[in-house]
């Protein structure tokens, strides 16, 4: 039987803590969605005593969520397929073919991946506000 090192145990514990923090909002959202309005105000953090699917019914049929979901799928599916297809071609050509300037192109791609989305949103908001394109 192989011995497990102390450093490996520490890594596993740290990763387990990160997973716990990452899944906590998902868990809270799920248990909250299964509560009635009255139970949500009585016991906001606890497990539902009488789980109900009424909220899902309300969102899907009365909230017109089905239409929004279908519209999102109509836009998202071809977008993901086109991005995936273009990414496959770009990654192959940059890795296997002798494209001039490929290191610079890879640097630009890497910078795009490393960019913080909230920072981009804040910058975009400021630009639109300075151009008087926001109605607020």
Structure tokens at 94: 């940059």
Domain boundaries, the chain: 1-59
Interior CA angle at 112 toward 97 and 107, to 5°? 40
- Under the banding of pLDDT at 50, 70 and 90, the label for residue 2 is low
DSSP 46-61: SPPSS---HHHHIIII
pLDDT at residue 26 is higher than 60: yes
Q: What is the pTM of this model?
A: 0.56
Mean pLDDT of 101-109: 88
């Amino acid at each position: 039987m192989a011995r497990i090192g102390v450093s490996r145990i520490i890594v596993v514990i740290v990763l387990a803590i990160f997973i716990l923090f990452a899944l906590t909002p998902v868990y809270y959202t799920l248990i909250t969605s299964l509560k009635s309005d009255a139970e949500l105000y009585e016991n906001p953090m606890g497990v539902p005593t009488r789980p109900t699917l009424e909220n899902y019914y309300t969102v899907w049929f009365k909230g017109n969520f089905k239409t929004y979901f279908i519209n999102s799928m109509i836009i998202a599916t071809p977008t993901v397929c086109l991005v995936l297809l273009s990414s496959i071609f770009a990654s192959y050509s940059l890795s296997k073919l002798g494209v001039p300037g490929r290191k610079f192109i890879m640097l630009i791609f890497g910078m795009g991946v490393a960019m913080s989305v909230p920072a981009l949103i804040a910058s975009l908001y400021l630009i639109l506000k300075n151009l008087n394109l926001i109605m607020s």
